[in-house]
Amino acid sequence: MTVLTGPAPMANSEQMANAIRALAMDAVQQANSGHPGAPMGMADMAVALWGRHLRHNPQDPHWADRDRFVLSNGHGSMLLYALLHLTGYDLPIQELKNFRQLHSKTAGHPEVGVTPGVETTTGPLGQGLTNAVGMALAEKLLAAEFNQAGHTVVDHHTYVMLGDGCLMEGISHEAVALAGAWRLSKLVALYDDNGISIDGQVAPWFIDNTPKRFEACGWNVIGPVDGHDADAVDKAIAKARAQSAKPTLIVCKTHIGKGSPNRANTSKAHGEPLGAEEIALTRAALNWPYAPFEVPAEVYADWNAKEAGAQAQAEWSQRFAAYRAAFPELAAEFERRMAGDLPKHFAQTAVDAVVEAHTKGDTVASRKASQIALEAFTAKLPELLGGSADLTGSNLTNTKSTPALRMDAKGAVAKTEDGQIGRHINYGVREFGMAAVMNGIALHGGFIPYGGTFLTFSDYSRNAIRMAALMKQRVIHVFTHDSIGLGEDGPTHQSIEHAASLRLIPNLDVWRPADTAETTVAWSVALSNRDKPTALLLSRQNLQHLSALAPKRNLGDISRGAYVLSEPKDVGLKKKAQAVIIATGSEVQLALKAQRLLAAKKIAVRVVSMPSTTAFDREDVKYKKAVLPTGVPRIAVEMGVTSGWWKYGCAAVIGIDTYGESAPAPVLFKHFGFTEENVAATVLAALKRK
């Protein structure tokens, strides 16, 4: 269904574009910082898209069936801020005057959750394009799941503008290939092909045949078209919308800094203010005789999308009301999922899963424990959308409730015999792309994405993980093979610094559970984290269930990140702890065994399991002191770099500050000192020093 929310093609499209150019150069000049060239060059493209095609309602930026727009080349943020201001979003002119200033709604790069109408935080090039792929995939899957005959409630496009820098970043290759494989026909990308980057003309270092590259990945390619001819871009967008087989790339030839007599087509227009003299010359060249930040009323009127947006949303609301009358359960489920609310039964589902894991007491690898937990959660939460970077058989992210996502011969989402859509994605060997696609899925709404790979490859995903944390998105990363315990693959695959590195990312929850119960709790917390992503670090090797060594532990405290697992009295000593051993993951069983060795020597030790340092660090001081009492030596044990553990006031840390080795896991444990005997000896040495 096509609903136009802006004006039809009109004679003053040029003035509409010039308003963007003027606001961009004025804001950058006032801030004495920013990128005026891209907004000035892309202004006519914006007129075609935002003025004639984009379905959105400035008065309700979160309308579920709005078109999504992503500015992947986020350094051109003034393009988006000008559009939001001009079309009627809650972004007054004063905010444009405060461009790049502290606490303004117009940060240097667009930030979701800060500026109304911004769909994703962009700036790291290539990720916006990949987020858009995730958004388009979410739309396609939701449409396949919820739309019914005669009732279409999910029907919107995803548009993304991008530049040369986005296409140079390697992640763009991953994203483009996935979009083509998934036949995302409602994804339209507009390429600002101006041939300029910070270092100048890109020709010496960027010789890709971009149209052929996209065609090879299964895209529909239109152009080149004149990016300064709004009517030509308008027709290209209409052509893209008319086809239903492939995603579309529209190649728009433009001039960076369009209108600037001396800066257009140069890198000088890219990342610095034009200067007062050049701005005056540009105003004259554009026939824009208005003062800085002044836009004439007739141009505001041409841009205003409030009335048309409200009408488009009202029409959708009528369709949704009819849908609700015909399919009340589906309508309620759609609203719940788009709101990001977990089902009412989730708390009980989580409790049941944890109790079952504890009762069964399986001795399995924590990667298998994760799959067991996922079996319970995916059966009850249809919004869980899993995947793997070509390692499904190793990271075990698939379940009985999550058939593989596949497209049929016509490009539609294939369904199982009982009508279910695929909920497990084969991302291929594309960790970075997977992570950024998951961010786009989460931003779109309707799904909670999770995806798996080896922990050592989290380095490939890291910037997208950081972006999820910055954007406060519920995205779950399943990282298996979390230590030297993976054995013979050697140091290239053995994670040493990765746990510590991930823990440094603000607003990222990191869990390294020790058995099935802790793993299930970690999953329940991750699913409950509405405003942060989670990384689950899981073992390849089997882990003895802790109930065999610590039968009296309190399951209710696991979610707090650290808890007292075993006291001296649990191993037959009726006295206060003389030392505390802190351990995570596979090393917790070593701590418990060392506790028993020391008990035989009448040395009283408390064992603390700390599956999540990030969760524990959020606890209050009272709880922290209750778990880690003052005046008692603390010894941490983890198969990774030692640096992050000293903040807990440790007397000693048993870790690895070198790379691993290639050998069977048991040999490596002994070689690097991860034995109960060495843990016990380290405790004794710490007590002697005290």
* 171-181 vs 127-146: helix crossing angle, rounded to 10: 20
Are 252 and 233 in contact by the 8 Å Cβ rule? The answer is yes
Query: Before 224, cis peptide (omega within 30)?
Result: yes
User: What is the chain's alpha carbon radius of gyration, rounded to the nearest angstrom?
Assistant: 28
* 13-31 vs 37-52: helix crossing angle, rounded to 10: 140
- Respond yes or no: is residue 431 known to be catalytic: yes
In whole angstroms, give the CA distance from residue 373 to residue 371. Answer: 5
Question: Looking at 139, 169, 431, 638, which residue is catalytic?
Answer: 431
Cβ count within 10 A of residue 147: 15
Of 283, 277, 351, which is closest to residue 525 (Cα–Cα)?
351
Sign, Cα dihedral of 95, 99, 101, 104: positive
Sign, Cα dihedral of 75, 79, 82, 85: negative
Beta bridge partners of 690: none
Please classify residue 542 by burial: count the beta carbons closer than 10 Å to its beta carbon, then call 0-12 exposed, 13-18 middle and 19+ buried.
middle
In whole angstroms, give the CA distance from residue 534 to residue 525. Answer: 9
In whole angstroms, give the CA distance from residue 460 to residue 670. Answer: 30
In whole angstroms, give the CA distance from residue 477 to residue 454. Answer: 10
- The CA distances from residue 661 to 409, 585, 590, 647, 668, in Å, are 47, 20, 20, 28, 7
DSSP state, residue 653: E
Active site residues: 431
